[in-house]
Every structure is written in structure tokens, then in C-alpha cells.
């Protein structure tokens, strides 16, 4: 799984946690998970990361309009995330768009 997709999926698990202590704990664990996963898939992740990075502008528009403005690149990124993760399948489009922005 691509590095950024792994990071987004890790961040989805933290959505329900809103305390600063939990957020700082999350930051420490997600960095290790992302770097550990990158060594096994570094050759194929650049194209997948590109899908997510290219969707950032459209994700910003989507979040700013409360989901009324959707773009092709954002749709591709949402599809990609859901194809690779059961966690992403249960997240709303708005949640995933916010996580793409956090990259």
C-alpha cells in the first residue's frame, strides 16, 4: 500500500479521538507505520502517492463547499483509497477529503 494511503488510513483511526494527548500519541505511531510500510512498497507507491497529491486542490474545494463541488481527481483518490482499505470504505467522502488535505 502506498505511503500516503497508509498515512490516511492511520489518520482515519484517529478521527474519533479528539484529545491533544491522543493526537500526539498518534503522531508518534503513524510515522513509524508509514516508514515501515514504505520499504516494502517503495517501487510502486509513487504512482499511488501521485493520485492522492493531485487530488489535494479538489479535496480543498470539496471541503470548502461542504461536499457540493467534486472533481475527477478527488473521485479517483477516493476510489483508490476505498479499493485498498476497509477503513476507507466506511469513512465519508468528506472525512477522506480532509485526510487528503492533511498530507
Q: Whole-angstrom Cα distance, residue 41 to residue 5?
A: 12
Overall number of domains in the chain: 1
Residues 1-53 pLDDT 10s: 666 666 666 665 544 333 333 333 333 333 434 444 443 444 446 667 899 99
**Are residues 100 and 53 in contact, defined by beta-carbon separation less than 8 angstroms?**
no
Q: pTM higher than 0.75, yes or no?
A: no
pLDDT average, residue stretch 72-83:
96
Predicted local distance difference test score (pLDDT) of residue 94: 98
**Residue 103 — pLDDT band, cuts 50, 70, 90?**
confident
Predicted local distance difference test score (pLDDT) of residue 49: 84
Containing structural domain, residue 81 = 3-101
Amino acid at each position: 500500500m502506498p505511503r500516503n494511503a497508509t498515512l490516511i488510513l492511520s489518520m482515519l483511526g484517529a478521527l474519533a479521538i479528539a484529545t491533544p494527548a491522543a493526537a500526539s500519541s498518534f503522531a508518534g505511531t503513524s510515522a513509524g507505520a508509514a516508514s515501515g510500510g514504505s520499504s516494502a512498497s517503495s517501487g510502486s507507491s509513487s504512482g499511488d502517492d501521485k493520485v492522492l497529491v493531485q487530488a489535494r486542490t479538489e479535496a480543498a474545494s470539496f471541503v470548502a463547499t461542504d461536499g457540493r463541488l467534486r472533481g475527477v481527481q478527488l473521485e479517483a483518490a477516493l476510489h483508490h483509497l476505498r479499493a485498498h482499505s476497509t477503513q476507507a470504505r466506511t469513512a465519508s467522502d468528506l472525512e477522506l477529503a480532509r485526510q487528503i488535505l492533511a498530507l
